Amino acid sequence: MLVTSYLWVKAAHLIFVIFWIAGLFMLPRFYIYHQPTVPGSVEDKQWIERERRLRSIILNPAMIAVWVLGLALIWINQMNGRPILTEGWLHAKLLCVIALSGYHGWASAYGKKMARGYRPAKDRTLRLMNEVPGIATAVIVILVIVQPF
């Protein structure tokens, strides 16, 4: 039963990773378009609502599902006699996922600042931050597929 459930949990984990990363690609792009709006304007309020929905409907639930399902995969591996917790690639992957979770937190907090009318970052900074999910995804995929260490 653990082998069958492992495949379903793995599939669900990957599905929610895709949702989470897609949301993390979208959110900074929203901020780039939101940044030049006048605080309190109709357009500003529309961006605030779009960003809130993206965070509450896609990003936050997807991140929670990724973590829960990822930890379930580790547990199932342990129950099947595969000591996955001792593998270096998993430690590196977990470090990347923790960093990506921190990025998620930064992005969410930045949107809340913008909702209050504060625009702390420059356009260039937001454009650079928009690259973080792609780089993190590439590193994580290599770690999981190639398992270099």
> Residue positions in the annotated binding site for heme?
13, 93
CA quadruple 21, 27, 30, 32: dihedral, nearest 10: -100
Cα separation, 144 vs 94, in Å, equals: 11
- Write the CB contacts of 104 (distance below 8 Å, at least 6 apart in sequence): 20, 24, 59, 63
Binding-site sequence positions: 13, 93
Phi-psi region of 147 (alpha: psi -120 to 50; beta: other; left: phi over 0): left
